[in-house]
Amino acid sequence: MARPKIPRKSTNIDMTAMCDVAFLLLSFFILTTKFKPEEAITVTTPSSVATKVAPDKDVVLITIDKDGKVFLSLDNEQIKGTIADELNSTKNLGIDKKAFVKASFIGASFAQLNSFLAIPEDERKGNKLPGIPCQDSSHNEITEWLRIIKGSYMGLKKNILLKGDNASKYPSFKNVIDALKKNDELKFSLVTNPEAAPTGTDLWKQNQAPADKKEE
């Protein structure tokens, strides 16, 4: 044969190694990822130098959106059931317990709670809802809510988180604080984004010195 003897090299590459790397990375990202829950209330939190990660169990979250409307959410379904019973018996609201337990947040006054729960879950958006009224101290329903929540937890550990929007005005924040104070809930946390301590400040110096005991 007159064919020149060029060795036919295969164009196939061994993909095994690449595949290994790809799936290693994949498993890393799958394990580290934490999906951002689709939030019905859009809130941009301010940043702070606090380093403690926000707790995610037994949370009582009070959200203040940018218009100063206040929303409340609980994660413990058992507690929510107790609260629903409590509301029905003391206030005669006649709310649907199942819907109440399933609701991811509460954004209406006691009087409107039923119609609020009647709205389908995915249509409950913070900007369309009235929020829990807490305009002045005499009509502060947050106080009432917190009293009921406190009663339902019955001394069990709960983490009160306050999540405010950057642009929300101080009075609504103050109303929430007042409601907390009235219920003797004096320990709570503000949800913030992490931020590094500015260089040269006292906190920065403290963090730089590893021998010093860090602030709890």
Partner 1 sequence: MAEMDTSSQGGGHKKGPGVKKSKKMSTRVDLTPMVDLGFLLITFFIFTTTMSQPTAMKLYLPKDADKPEEQNKAKESGVLTLLLGKDNNVFYYEGTLANDASNFKSSNFKDIRDVIIRKKQATPEKDLVLIIKPSNECTYKNVVDMLDEMSINLIKRYALVDIADVENQLIVKTEAAGVK
Residues forming the site for partner 1 (CB under 8 A): 12, 15-16, 18-19, 22-23, 25-26, 29-30, 32-36, 45-55, 64, 161-162, 164-174, 177, 180-181, 184, 186-195, 197-198, 201-204, 206, 215
How many CB atoms are located within 10 Å of the residue 77 CB? 11
Considering the complex, state which of residue 87 and residue 163 has its C-beta at the smaller distance from partner 1.
Answer: 163
CA angle 202, 207, 213 (to 5 degrees): 100
User: How near is the Cβ of 157 to partner 1 at its closest, in Å?
Assistant: 15
User: How near is the Cβ of 6 to partner 1 at its closest, in Å?
Assistant: 20
Q: How far apart are CA 195 and CA 83, in angstroms?
A: 37
Residue type, 71: F
User: How near is the Cβ of 71 to partner 1 at its closest, in Å?
Assistant: 14
Considering the complex, state which of residue 109 and residue 189 has its C-beta at the smaller distance from partner 1.
Answer: 189
Partners of 59 in the β-ladder: 159
User: How near is the Cβ of 206 to partner 1 at its closest, in Å?
Assistant: 7
Considering the complex, state which of residue 123 and residue 202 has its C-beta at the smaller distance from partner 1.
Answer: 202
Which secondary-structure segment (H or E) carries 163?
Answer: strand 159-164
Considering the complex, state which of residue 91 and residue 147 has its C-beta at the smaller distance from partner 1.
Answer: 147
CA angle 146, 150, 156 (to 5 degrees): 145
Tokens for 180, please give them: 């907390």
